Amino acid sequence: MTKPMTAPTRRSGKDTAKTAGYYSLLWVVAILFFLPILWIVMAAFKSNTAILNTDYLFTPTLDNIKSVFDRPNVTSQFISSLYLSIGSVILAVAVSFPAAYAFSRWKFAYTDFLMFLLLSTRMVPAAAAIVPMLLMFNLFGLRNPFGFFLLYTSFSIPFSVWILKGFIDGVSERFDETAMVNGASRLHVMFKVVLPQVKPGLVAAFIFNLIFVWNEYLFNFSIGSEGVRNVPYGIANGLVDSGGNVDWGFLAAMSSLYLIVPMLMIFLFQRYLLVGMTFGTVRGDV
Amino acid sequence: MVSIRLENLHKDFGGSVVAVDNLSLTFDEGSTTCLLGPSGCGKTTLMRMIAGLETQTSGRIFFDDLDVTKLKTRKRDLGMVFQYPVVYQGTTIRQNIGIPLRRENMTTAEKNERVDEILDLLGLSDVANTDVGNLDYATKQKVAVARAISRRPPIVLFDEPITNVDLTAKLQLKLVLKELFTKLKQTVLYVTHDQTEAMTLADKIALMRDGRVEQLASPRELYTNSQSVFAGRFLGNPGMNFLGKNDSSEIIAQLLGNRYTEQVSSVGFRPEDVVVSADQTPGAVPAEIEHVAIVTGGQHLVTLKSGVRIVKAKLPWHVPFTKTDGEHVWWSVPETKVRAFDSAEQLVPSGAVAVGS
């Protein structure tokens, strides 16, 4: 099959100017949003005096970064953050996919209501749940990595199910039926026929929840114990030194390091993420 | 090959919604049967029950002597093609067709040979290595057909496979399917609401209405020997003309001659059997021409008005027809072509003169 030829489009000068105008505007907005991040990253390489003087020109130093890792617990906080977020989100997506498949394919009575109920667990403000959660976690001895693993997984499931159901709805049931007629089992249909077609949904669910868990501070601070302290906790906890001064250098360095994981994930999965943002609303059925 | 036998097969969706109404019939082995009927007549539900994708409320299904009523879809050894063309993205046509063969007990060489053969049958050899994502709708559907038959299942089910295909491709696909059915001699069930499709493809047509099969017969038999008002009306373009006893009893008596009985409640006749003449002939009915149109095939479709009655006549293209709207003519129907129906809209025993007489 030959590729369709596209005629080179000739734009008038007015159009070009218009396009250029739009793009400049977009760039201005993008830079405006990016400035705080730039400021933080720059501050990570400044001395404390340079930060407070808001110097634009400065001699970069690695002192802040080095001092971050000189502190006790920082490494373990990064490790906790990594395995708690990545682990719990992978588990959440793994559990959510079969659930979403069931919700999509077996439309028994009250399916919609059940879906609503699932999401309603996220409607109570997290702060309101702190005390009961603390009591419960104490009672069951869950204030440990395992307990937090469960906590974050359960927080990630409702949203993942919603995203994935949207995607699975977009895969015609005729795919399932064709495969079954050809001798496939339901499990084969789920994992070999439907799963490959909802990859963008899996990635979207993964990234959205990862960012949520990666940012989680409230529960970690209030009901966590030594073994589960994550980076947001570390930042808040290490912010003020023994003399009562805010250690801006530490804050900037830790925050910059902290940004790496989400940025890396988004960079790696960006081609899926754009599709994921539409929540699979582009349907293929007739 | 395998025949499909239904025994009192019934499906309702709770309460009064009956999709398939206590059906008992047999689809012969190696034959192509079209399930034809309007939307909602239960044809798709019936096919889905045969495939095991829908569970029957009661009744049994046999493939030859094997009771498959409770058998899972994947164990029924079928091929099926849906209206929506199912192709597996990211694979080539060749790979798509090979997918159902993965579990078959065949050597790689045998599998390749089988795929080549199927590609050739459907005229896909030249594009065998194209990615299916780039194909048009009709070709995707061809791939779906090819995949459905690649395992050579004894039964293949088609659920309106070419309904959404554009007209030119439809014609071509119809020919491909016809050739396929003739060559492979599988037992084929083909659901459609398009009578032309059914007439072209079927050995037999099962005309369905409200969950029941009105008539199961060869296309010609179904057309010329319609057993009910529904069959008369549904088939043909336009369908039969009907005259009811309450306003046309005199004409009915005239058309039926000595076949007229008390039982007769209406008569029907095909538009192509109506004879229109400028002069009065014995037994002819006077009418005014309401409209003349040329239809596919070049025939004149003449709408006649006799009082309140509207009668459509389809006249051969090679006979010049010069009359126009508003002119007065006479129409009649050869007695053998007039069919009489009772109040239940079924053919009365003496309602038809045997075909060919």
pLDDT of residue A247: 87
Measure the CA–CA gap between B56 and B11, rounded to whole angstroms: 5
pTM of the entire structure?
A: 0.82
| Domain-embedded: residue A285 | no
Contact across the interface for A174 and B82, Cβ inside 8 Å: yes
| Domain-embedded: residue A283 | no
Whether residues A119 and A260 share a domain: the answer is yes
| Domain-embedded: residue A272 | yes
Query: Which member of A1, A175, A184 has the closest CB to residue B130?
Result: A1
Mean pLDDT of chain A: 86
Whether residues A171 and A43 share a domain: the answer is no
Q: pLDDT (tens digit, 9 = 90+) per residue, A60-96?
A: 888 888 888 888 888 999 999 999 999 999 999 999 9
Per the DSSP assignment, residues forming a β-bridge with B276 are B331
- What backbone torsions phi and psi does residue B16 show, to the nearest 5 degrees? -90, -5
User: pLDDT confidence of A285, banded at 50, 70, 90?
Assistant: very low
Whether residues A141 and A45 share a domain: the answer is no
pLDDT of residue B329: 93
Contact across the interface for B74 and A185, Cβ inside 8 Å: yes
C-beta of residue B137 within 8 angstroms of C-beta of residue B165: yes
In chain B, which residues have pLDDT < 70?
A: 351, 353-357
The total number of structural domains that make up chain A: 2
Whether residues A28 and A126 share a domain: the answer is no
Whether residues A254 and A156 share a domain: the answer is yes
pLDDT of residue B260: 84
Whether residues A25 and A141 share a domain: the answer is no
Complete edge-to-edge strand list for the sheet that includes strand B266-269: B241-244, B266-269, B339-341
C-beta of residue B85 within 8 angstroms of C-beta of residue B139: no
Alpha-carbon torsion (B105, B108, B110, B112), positive or negative: positive
By C-alpha distance, the chain B residue nearest A194 is: B88
pLDDT of residue A240: 85
Whether residues A100 and A216 share a domain: the answer is yes
By C-alpha distance, the chain A residue nearest B82 is: A174
C-beta of residue B173 within 8 angstroms of C-beta of residue B141: yes
Closest CA to B83 of B151, B144, B17, B1: B144
| Domain-embedded: residue A75 | yes
Best probe of the B interface among A167, A173, A182, by most B CBs < 10 A, is A182
- Domain extent for A128: 64-277
The full length of chain A comes to 286
Per the DSSP assignment, residues forming a β-bridge with B244 are B266
pLDDT of residue A9: 54
Q: pLDDT (tens digit, 9 = 90+) per residue, A176-215?
A: 999 999 889 999 999 999 999 998 899 889 988 998 899 9
Q: What percent of chain B has pLDDT over 70?
A: 98
Domain residue ranges in chain B: 4-224, 239-341
Across the A/B interface, how many CB contacts are shorter than 8 Å? 55
Query: Which member of B72, B86, B127 has the closest CB to residue A178?
Result: B86
Mean pLDDT of chain B: 90
Contact across the interface for A181 and B76, Cβ inside 8 Å: yes
pLDDT at A1 over 70: no
Whether residues A84 and A33 share a domain: the answer is no
pLDDT of residue B193: 93
Q: pLDDT (tens digit, 9 = 90+) per residue, B119-153?
A: 998 989 999 999 998 899 999 999 999 999 999 99
Query: Which member of B72, B74, B86 has the closest CB to residue A174?
Result: B86
pLDDT of residue A277: 59
pLDDT of residue B321: 82
| Domain-embedded: residue A28 | yes
DSSP helix/strand/coil, A9: coil
Q: Which CATH architecture has domain B4-224?
A: 3-Layer(aba) Sandwich (3.40)
Relative to beta strand B339-341, strand B266-269 is antiparallel
C-alpha torsion angle, residues B307, B311, B316, B322 (rounded to 10) = 30
What single letter denotes the amino acid at residue A39? W
Query: Which member of B78, B90, B103 has the closest CB to residue A181?
Result: B78
Which residue matches tokens 């194209």?
Answer: B130
Whether residues A36 and A118 share a domain: the answer is no
| Domain-embedded: residue A217 | yes
Query: Rg for chain B (alpha carbons), in Å?
Result: 24
Alpha-carbon torsion (A73, A75, A78, A79), positive or negative: negative
Q: Which CATH architecture has domain B239-341?
A: Beta Barrel (2.40)
Whether residues A82 and A164 share a domain: the answer is yes
* DSSP codes joined into one string, B128-175: TTSBGGG--HHHHHHHHHHHHHTT--SEEEEESTTTTS-HHHHHHHHH
Whether residues A41 and A96 share a domain: the answer is no
| Domain-embedded: residue A5 | no
By C-alpha distance, the chain A residue nearest B53 is: A177
pLDDT of residue B273: 93
Helix or strand (DSSP H, E) at B67: strand B66-67
Query: Domain holding A227: CATH number?
Result: 1.10.3720.10
Query: Rg for chain A (alpha carbons), in Å?
Result: 24
- Nearest Cα of chain B lies from the Cα of A99 at a distance, in angstroms, of 21
DSSP helix/strand/coil, B203: coil
